[in-house]
Amino acid sequence: MPLEDCQIIELPKISDYRGNLTFIETETHVPFDIQRVYYLYDVPGGAQRGGHAHRELEQLIIAMSGSFDVVLDDGFEKKRVHLNRSYQGLYVCPMIWRELDNFSSGSVCMVVASTLYDEADYYRNYDAFLKDVR
């Protein structure tokens, strides 16, 4: 998949004096059926997460609190995306290597995923990923 397919998706933001509300609906806001949601938190300063790619899985990555960067790599080029708005999500298509870094203190990263956890879907070795995408 080309890197250009990984885009920021604007999610609904309903604001009033009591605070804001954002929601995500399958196939309305994400181009897949939602099968799993997980989140990263208490990431130590200077730590990185990710460091893998998926064969089939699609994701929407959201900074629920604080901020962090996502480095996307399709095997030919890389791009860094800074996430810091809870009403925006980064759509990551299959066959994109991703690394998350630059976590601010207290940040929370929520990931909405298209499949249940399946270790066989992961590329955890960058050279094996490059071999298959090239």
How do residues 112-129 score in pLDDT, each as one tens digit?
999 999 999 999 999 999
**pLDDT at residue 1 is higher than 70:** no
Cβ neighbours around 31 below 10 Å, total: 14
| 54 has catalytic annotation | no
Q: Is 95 helix (H, G, I), strand (E, B) or coil?
A: coil
- Give Rg (Cα) of the chain: 15
Look at residue 2 in the predicted model and tell me its pLDDT: 80
∠ CA 1-74-7, rounded to 5°: 65
Sheet of strand 68-73: strand arrangement: 78-83, 68-73, 97-101, 49-54, 122-123
The CATH-assigned architecture of domain 3-133 is Sandwich (2.60)
| Percentage of the chain modeled with pLDDT above 70 | 99
Using 50, 70 and 90 to split pLDDT, how confident is the model at 10? very high
> Is the pLDDT confidence value at 60 over 70?
yes
User: What does the pLDDT read at residue 45?
Assistant: 84
Question: Over the stretch 90-104, which tens digit does the pLDDT of each residue have?
Answer: 999 999 999 999 999
DSSP letter string, 62-94: EEEES-EEEEEE-SS-EEEEEE--TTEEEEE-S
From 29, 52, 54, 82, the catalytic residue: 52
